[in-house]
Amino acid sequence: MIEIRNLTKNHGSRRVVDDISFDAAPGRITGFLGPNGAGKSSTMRILLGLDRATSGTALIDGVPYKDIDRPLWTVGSMLDGPGAAKGRTARAHLSWVAQSNGVPKHRIDEVLDMTGLAEAGRSRIRGFSLGMGQRLGIAASLLGNPRILVLDEPTNGLDPDGIRWTRRFLRSLADDGKTVLVSSHLMNEMEGIADDIVVIARGKILATGTAAEVQGEHRSLEDAFFALTDGQQQYSSGSTEQGDAR
């Protein structure tokens, strides 16, 4: 269970997350959606202990990330892609991640197989396609067989086959009882898969509820998203996606 309560984050004089609250529940995919600069990545970084909130709380199974012993066994995450050294093999990268949290070696083969990378395990990451890199990031997030998954833009830049595989795989994880929180700035990537939706723009939550509730009387969830976020894009000169409030 993920619980965000009255979370606020300021970067200098700019408020990038503004008193937001929502939950992500077990057995469900929660789509965390908003245009670039909305505050999605800032929220996820706070949730995963990579940044501090100005106020409010972000809890995983009732506690802050920093208080979780061997966190990979509870929550798996992927922010900013796989984050792997290009000269390493996929297996070596996963081995390094596994050792950091005492995950047994046999789990490496299991996650490589789960993500379709079994034959690429001894290949150098520099030769991976974008889709393979995303699969490797997901594989790393699954090493501890965690109950909770937090994935930032896992379909970003993927071709249609890669998006289809990611959708089906995330659905299988939720159907297995896991809590899955997925961010995206493209509603069509989440349409037909997300059980619950949180729409954020300029640091404020615009809508929460089931996919049907957020869609309301609009023809599609995508139409609802565009109606909610029209004119809400926010860009900062010279900022990166991570430094900005994605």
Q: What are phi and psi of 215, to 5 degrees?
A: -65, -40
**Under 8 Å between Cβ of 41 and 219:** no
* Residue 193 confidence (pLDDT): 87
C-beta separation of 97 from 138 below 8 A: no
User: What's the pLDDT score for residue 162?
Assistant: 84
> Residue 23: is it exposed, middle or buried by C-beta count within 10 angstroms (0-12/13-18/19+)?
middle
The verdict on pTM exceeding 0.85 is yes
**Residue 150, domain member (yes or no):** no
| Residue 154 counted as domain residue | no
**Pairing between strand 196-201 and 55-60?**
unpaired
Q: Does residue 132 form part of some domain?
A: yes
Q: Rounded CA gap, 153 and 144, in Å?
A: 21
Residue 246: per-residue pLDDT: 53
SS3 at position 7: strand
User: pLDDT means per 10 residues in the chain (246 residues)?
Assistant: 97 94 98 91 96 97 95 92 80 94 95 94 91 91 96 84 88 96 85 91 95 91 88 51 46
Is residue 141 one of the residues assigned to a domain? yes
Q: Residue 229 belongs to what H/E stretch?
A: helix 221-229
The answer to the question of residue 112 being in a domain is yes
Residue of 83, 9, 21 whose CA lies nearest to 46: 9
User: How wide is the angle at C-alpha 208 spanned by C-alphas 193 and 45, nearest 5°?
Assistant: 80
Within-domain flag for 94 = yes
Report how far apart the first and last C-alpha atoms of the chain are (Å, whole number).
23
Residue range of the domain that includes 120: 84-145
Question: Is 134 domain-assigned?
Answer: yes
Torsions phi, psi for 145 (to 5 deg):
50, 55
Residue 159 to residues 154, 163, 192, Cα–Cα distance (Å)? 12, 6, 17
Rg, C-alpha atoms of the chain: 17
Residue 159 belongs to a domain: no
Cβ 193 vs Cβ 167: under 8 Å: yes
Number of structural domains the chain divides into? 1
Question: In the prediction, which pLDDT does 234 show?
Answer: 55
